[in-house]
Structure 1
Amino acid sequence: MITTPSRRQAASALLALAAMMTAGACSVANSGPEPSAGGAAASTVRIVLPEEPPTLEPCDASLTATGRVTRANITEALTERDPGTGELKPALSTEWKQDSPTEWTFTLRKDVKFHDGSAFDAKAAAFSIDRTLNPKVDCNVNGYVFGGIKLTATAVDDVTLKVKTAKADPILPLRLSFVEIVPTTTNATGKVREPVGTGPYKIAKWDAGRSLRLEKYAGYWGKAPEFAAAEYVWRAEGSIRAAMVKSDEADIAVGLAPEDGAGDSAVQFPNNETSYLRIDATKPPLNDIRVRQAINYAIDKDGLVASVFAGLGKSAGQIVPEGVTGHSPAIQPWPYDMNQAKKLIAEAKADGVPTGTAITIIGRNGIYPKAAEAMEVVQNSLMEAGLSVKIQMLDVNAWLEYLLAPFPKDAGPTLLQAQHGNQAGDAAFTMGQIYGSKGAQSSYGTKELDELISTAEQASGAERQAAFAKALEYQNKDVVRDAVLAHMTGILALSKKVTYKPDAATNDEMRLADIHPAG
């Protein structure tokens, strides 16, 4: 167990303490006083989240806690994907064409202003792309979306952007839907906490540990949103989030479980998240494939979905779900077979594998409803199979240190509680970063799998689908780098004062422009 807190962990603890100190006068136990409680203006939509965003840095907007606030609200990209149809649509770019296998031209929207009044142009677009791929900034989007892809972006004139890739990349416009555009005055070598964007809302006030307020940007180029402002607060307990909607302290509460008591305000929706355990296959006993196989056999995924997740979800065998290019119908969830798990652990132990070495489950509070309970079920199953397992639940900032490379060196063998949402609809946004040897979220890879991923990334059409499916099947059979648990179903609570239709992208980007006053 890690006992020395990092600076991230210390900062997270201070924020939590600040939140606790302000949680006295409230109508819902432990919910804290709301800026909007007791007569909020009808022009403000009030949203309660499971956790405070760790940052609003645009190049980390592929992280759920950041992206659900930042993407398409504060900042925008050149392109955007329709979550319902998968179609790629114009955003800050009105059109694009492929000039050659490695060259693209983007025509940019005219008369767009950033929140600071500066003009959006091709120089800003090229700067934002370069910044996102700059290793000094260490952007999550760089690893998640680009995974080592080399490219150059050049401003031809104010409204024309040329992008050239080192290798053929048939989905470059889709990749660029994750590059949030910022002005050239943004720090080019370090992250920013509060960005300037072109979106329909700008940051008004971030009271750390308490609330975040966005206000409508009067100079927005597109259709003006209906709400003048959005107020975000965060409460770890799902029952409190649900109660805040029922008591008119919030209009929308996300990340709920069936038992949280949302009642008639509950709305279920299929999200694109898949829960899984990332296995650190570099450290014993997890470096033995028999132990990794045993972990998969020991977890009763159907039972987990039925009990802890209350039937909301579907047991899964791969983190690329149906509807995403590269999904393999041949991969089924690992069957629950405790006898086989025990047999594999015993065989490994007999061959000298230190199966008694303590394995730590690194969990994340609020990653999905009943996250801690889910890990307790996993812990019990793995201990029954013959492994030594303990749990360490962390808040998002401390947990990120284990999600993103380089990982803590003194952690020992770990299983990371994680969740992956492929909102882009292509396995390229999963395979390299999660399973590649040098992936931003990868704890282990092989040369063979790297080659399969590389081949798939350069393919198109039916060949692309088949190549990614082959890579996934190889991973499942010959690498076994994780234990996939379930494709998840989301629940949010919606007050009668607002209308909003959640979709597959809601967990990753909740567009305020899609939220409307009821009636």
Structure 2
Amino acid sequence: MISIPRRRQAASALLALGAVLSAGACSVANSGPEASSSGAANSVRIVLPEEPPTLEPCDASLTATGRVTRANITEALTERDPGTGQLQPALATEWKQGSPTEWTFTLRKGVKFHDGTAFDAKAAAFSIERTVGSKIDCNVDGYVFGDVKLTVTVADDSTLKVKTAKPDPILPLRLSFVEIVPTTTSATGKVREPVGTGPYKIAKWDAGRSLRLERFAGYWGKAPDFAAAEYVWRTEGSIRAAMIKSDEADIAVGLAPEDGAGDSAVQFPNNETSYLRIDATKPPLNDIRVRQAINYAVDKDGLVASVFAGLGKPAAQVVPEGVTGHSSAIQPWPYDMAQAKKLIAEAKADGVPTDTPITIIGRNGIYPKAAEAMEVVQNSLNEAGLTMKIQMLDVNAWLEYLLAPFPKNIGPTLLQAQHGNQAGDAAFTMGQIYGSKGAQSSYGTAELDDLISAAEQDSGEERQAAFAKALEYQNKEVVRDAVLAHMTGILALSKKVAYKPNAATNDEMRLAEIHPAG
């Protein structure tokens, strides 16, 4: 992850980019004179739960940014197939490991950026150095690279060498998160509207209203079917679903069963796990008995059955099945209110201030019925003997609490969070979420840090076993969070388009995979 002192600047920069538009009056793209004059008849229209906080490529690991930016506006050297988990060529055609700490990448020739400049090894090196270990607070840096140190060398126009300070067997996978930009991109600050090599370029971003991408005529690959993509955003899921029925949108994402999408609804496993991050640095949450009690007090089966309408399943860990490092030995904490009350009473008898108010920091729209889910948690923890209150925030304000350093003088908190490991390796979870210096970590231990560090250098079966061991240690000895559920996504499609969502859809929606129906 990015080192802690840089995180506040990242959140502040995002705050400056604007707030999410509430459900409002402006009509969807493809209606009105502007849409007609811009050739919108060949546009795909997408309605999102929130406006992207930025399209900055090095923040593309943020869901609201990545679902628009990744593989649409910008591209990486490699890309992971969400169906098979296999790493595939993108802007690099091949790669090989010359030693445990050195990789050589052969780059694709004849690729142009949207501004007409050529993609080459200098641009790839610039993009990596701009993202990894730089001073512009890239979320990708913290999420993907942690404390990985890289040395990038341009061998020739189409050959790039990357060295790591210590062995890193998944470096090509990590680089699938580095979006490539031209060397003319600012290296000292973030850009709101990037230039990339992707099949679409930014045509117009009307802040607070809509975003239009247009097909890039000079794209090196196969041209996508739609000439343009029109994005708008509405906070209410029922409004997003209604826009499909009224032919104001072709795709609506982030829906719940009760939003009324009907036959247009498509369910898919979205690879997201919802959880509560416990701030274990502040009393009473610094007592492991209280953290254990929180896990016992939440009825995960009831939460999934009622609030999530049966979509998803109770979860035991934030690393789901199919991801390297998942431990089958970890089972969901059982619902046991009597045990929760017993643990809190024991802690209180020992002088732990269990009456201290604890704030649940929630995020509007993080998943359907987010506020209702936190109300269920609040009621359960109050019953167990804690004093809970809820503060629901929009995405930009919530990011202040997600990314270290966290706001000061806020008292003990539980953070409503969701983690999706579409990269398929626990390295993209463990360091950032559970490491002592992780960008999203509120607490860690030296012992867990050592287990994570050792696992990151292993490969094959040893890597799987080492990460599973670290997860098991966290679940038993640290208890830094309360994992709730593995989620199921719902989107709605109009009859005009064909699209098959996959495990990565929540984080990146590839416009080239959307086709006219029929």
TM superposition score normalised by structure 1: 0.95
* 1:223 CA drift (Å): 0.4
- C-alpha separation in 2, matches of 1:121 and 1:10: 33
Q: Does 1:200 align with 2:190?
A: no
| Correspondence list, 1:239-318, <5 A | 239-318=238-317
What is the one-letter code of the residue matched to 2:135?
K
Residue 8 of structure 1 contacts residue 397 of structure 1 at CA under 8 Å; is this kept in 2?
A: no
Q: Residue 3 of structure 1 corresponds to which residue in structure 2?
A: none
Correspondence 1:375 to 2:369? no
Question: Does structure 2 conserve the Cα–Cα contact (< 8 Å) formed by 1:270 and 1:504?
Answer: yes
Name the structure 2 match of 1:513: 512
The 5 Å alignment of 1:181-196 reads: 181-196=180-195
1:422-433 paired onto structure 2 within 5 Å: 422-433=421-432
Aligned-partner residue type, residue 502 of structure 1: P
Q: CA deviation at 1:503?
A: 0.3
Candidates 27, 34, 57, aligned match of 2:28: 34
Letter in 1 for 2:179: E
State the match for 1:419 in structure 2.
418
Q: How does 1:333-482 map to 2 (within 5 A)?
A: 333-482=332-481
Q: 1:116-166 CA distances to partner (integer Å, 9 max, x unpaired)? A: 111111011111111111341111111110111111111111000000000
Correspondence 1:14-163 to 2 at 5 A: 15=19, 23-24=24-25, 32-37=26-31, 41-163=40-162
Distance 1:163 1:67, change over 3 A: same
What residue identity is the alignment partner of 2:27? Answer: P
RMSD: 1.4
1:339-393 CA deviation, whole Å, 9 max, x = no partner?
0000111111111111111111110000000000000000000000011111111
Asked if residue 322 in structure 1 is aligned to residue 321 in structure 2, the reply is yes
Whole-angstrom distance in 2 between the partners of 1:35 and 1:469: 47
Letter in structure 1 aligned against 2:95: W
Indicate conservation of the 8 Å contact 1:364/1:393, yes or no: yes
The 2-side partners of 1:35 and 1:267 are apart by 22
Offset at residue 52 of structure 1 (A): 0.5
Query: C-alpha separation between the residues in 2 aligned to 1:284 and 1:375?
Result: 21
Distance in 2 between residues matched to 1:127 and 1:287, nearest whole Å: 43
Query: What is the CA distance between 1:7 and its match in structure 2?
Result: 6.4
Contact 1:308 1:373 in 2 (8 A): yes
Gaps of 5+ in 1: 1-5, 25-31
Cross-structure match for 1:27:
none
Partners of 2:15 and 2:396 within 8 A in 1: no
Task: Confirm or deny: 8 A CA contact 1:19 1:210 kept in the other structure.
Answer: no
Equivalent pairs, count: 503
| Secondary structure of the structure 2 residue equivalent to 1:34 | coil
Distance 2:409 2:248 in 1: 43
TM-score, reference length from structure 2: 0.95
CA shift in 2, pair 1:19/1:354, >3 Å: closer
SS in 1 for 2:270: strand
In 1: Cα distance, 2:267 partner to 2:506 partner: 12
Letter of the 1:410 partner, please give it: N
CA apart distance, 1:406: 1.1
C-alpha deviations, 1:395-446, integer Å up to 9, x for none?
1111111111111112211111000000000000000000000111111100
Per the alignment, do residues 9 and 348 of structure 1 end up closer, same or farther by CA in structure 2, a change over 3 Å counting? farther
**Which secondary structure state, in structure 2, belongs to the residue aligned with residue 275 of structure 1?**
strand
Q: Percent identity?
A: 86
